[in-house]
Amino acid sequence: MSEVKKKIEKLRSELERHNRLYYIEDNPEISDYEFDEMLKELEDLERENPEFADENSPTKRVGGDVTKNFETVEHEFPMMSLSNSYSKDEISEFIARIDKNIGGDTEYVCELKYDGVAISVRYNNGRFERAVTRGDGQKGDDVSNNVRTIKSLPLNLLPDTGYPEVFEIRGEIMLTRSRFEMLNEELAKKGEKPYANPRNTASGTLKLQDSKVVAKRGLDCFLYSVNAGSPVAENHFESVQKAKKWGFKVPPKEKNRIKVCRHIDEIMDFINYWDTERLNLDFDIDGVVIKVNSYDKQEELGSTAKSPRWAIAYKYKAEETKTILQDIKFQVGRTGAVTPVAQLKPVELAGTVVKRASLHNADVIANLDVRLGDTVFVEKGGEIIPKITAVDKQQRPDDAEPFEFAAQCPECGTELVRKEGEAVHFCPNETGCPPQILGKIQHFISRNAMDIEGLGQETVVQLHNAGLIKGIADLYELKKEDVLPLERMAEKSANNLIKGVEESKNKPFEKVLFGMGIRYVGATVAKRLATHFKDINRLAQASLDELESAPEIGTVIAKSVHEFFRNEEYLEMVERLKSHGLQFEVVEEEGVSSKLEGKKIVISGVFHQVSRSEAKKLIEKHGGTNTGSVSGSTDYLVAGENMGPAKREKAEKLNVKVISEDEFLKMIED
């Protein structure tokens, strides 16, 4: 190794060490001036010797790379959102559900809920590889160039500390309050408009094209969740402590920012402590996250399509203010649900100007007894969506009259309906009400459904307003000459739109089924239905009993699907989509069998010949259904190494057959 290369590597190592001491361990050894001099020396050496360039060099933290378009990347591990709670009773209900499903004696981890921008960072052989935003939970934007500039995020992990070869670590990117105030002071000196709040500023900064500007903003990063092919520890708390040893900035247990709790009183003590103490932090939090500690128990509890069943967020009471209710208008969603929206006298709340707030449904309006002209209390539910929480009746105008909910759809004039047992009013004109038509088309083209490249929600509105589309099947009859006259539609974008629509014909049956927008049929349910019925004809002809007998399909979903396929207009839409060549049957992959047909299988523990995600795919490929928890209907529990005792005990109690990884693979070989 040349002397120059040795010098470069030594400087990189020293700079990384001092960076970690300053930003992560809060224990600097040298002055800022000395650090800057070392960095300048390294910059000079790298410029003079480009053959020794390294994208993870400390010199990359100053930025310089420009990203014109952020690439969309699919998450290997979906980034789910958490269910929210606002009271001790709701936390108690959460714990009761856990106890009911997996028994008592469960450990929980409490940690702060940072009010930042969710990020997933991938490392390969200890080196920073990629950083991706949450996006829609399934796909996000690659913001690696910008995240490299964050000094509290290591670009190279500490050697010989036992990190996995490849893994992702997740957390929040944010601006500290002190840094945010400093940025606003700089803007004030220039006579420019200040930023609204730290979270929005951090979010906007992360999507800037010039990483040099990002570096100057001074973003920070807090990490708290490790995802690898197999667990890096037996539980969440231990994995966070390991991540600290690797060089990450994680919640410090010595400052009570993460804690293992064993009962509701300990959890509430943690929540109440931080409700007051959060005011003394240099960063914003909006609540506390409570997670089941054991990874084995997390796996047993499983997840819904949107959120894990083993975690919940306790949200602190939001900032509240008073203003005047000027009007109530009604919005119609793609399912026909009619939502009342309060039109407010503009008021500043949590750093933004609020003009509208949700009133949810007729029952909420009646319970609040809210009337036009009332002075109302408004808060940001979850710090994002404003809502009216109460009415100051002492300031009510003398002529204010009780508010009457709309009787007809505000968009198409159809008489609204409210089914027994439901709180929401619906417009039944599903195929003739403009917002429902638009909503269904926009849902069809969305990422989790057909993900049509070159076609966005605004373009759908343009196409509809121009009379070019009235339903999703019309998309497949568009021609380039039809769309070219649209505003801001150039030759290239028109070609991309037509190409994207054509390529969407290759999307699998489950995506098409989800995209059709059947009420209550989310992405997970669509996959279950597609896997069980195999093709659209069997699904359309299925009786209510046959639908309910499908895995994890309840009465409400079955009834909705059954009604959908008895609607002549929807049947015509399906026939048109068929004629355009969309996929309406499950395409069996080569080598796939029906050896596990109808079998419900739970997998648990660490596997060696295949990963857990590969095992789940094998179950589905061979006709089986992978479920998260052991029940009386489970056929097999595939037990890997280090499987917790709870699942085995439950399987033995219910006479569920327990098999090894080898036995499972022998079942599907050949």
Sign of CA dihedral 148, 8, 18, 242: positive
Contacts of 390 (CB under 8 A, 6+ apart): 368, 376, 377
SS3 130: strand
Sign of CA dihedral 35, 36, 40, 41: negative
Which residue among the candidates 7, 100, 113, 329 is catalytic per the annotation? Answer: 113
Of the CA atoms within 13 Å of residue 667, those in its CB half-sphere come to 21
SS3 415: strand
Amino acid, res. 56: N
Kindly state the tokens that stand for 631.
């029940």
Q: What's the CA angle centered on 659, arms 588 and 598, to 5 degrees? A: 35
Kindly state the tokens that stand for 206.
């992360």
Helix 32-48 vs helix 3-23: crossing angle, to nearest 10: 150
Of the CA atoms within 13 Å of residue 238, those in its CB half-sphere come to 9
Look-up of token digits 């076609």? 455
SS3 325: strand
CA distance 75 to 328: 40
DSSP 589-646: PTT--STTTT-EEEEESB-SSS-HHHHHHHHHHTT-EE-SS--TT--EEEE-BT--HH
Look-up of token digits 């020293």? 14
Contacts of 661 (CB under 8 A, 6+ apart): 607, 608, 609, 610, 615, 638, 639, 640
Kindly state the tokens that stand for 566.
């008895």
CA distance 145 to 134: 16
CB contact burial 127-143 (16+ within 10 A = b; e otherwise): ebebbbbbbebebbbbb
Contacts of 360 (CB under 8 A, 6+ apart): 339, 340, 387, 423
To the query of whether residue 113 is one of the catalytic residues in this protein, the response is: yes
Amino acid, res. 311: A
Contacts of 509 (CB under 8 A, 6+ apart): 530, 535, 536, 583, 584, 585, 586, 587
CA distance 525 to 586: 15
The catalytic site residues sit at: 113
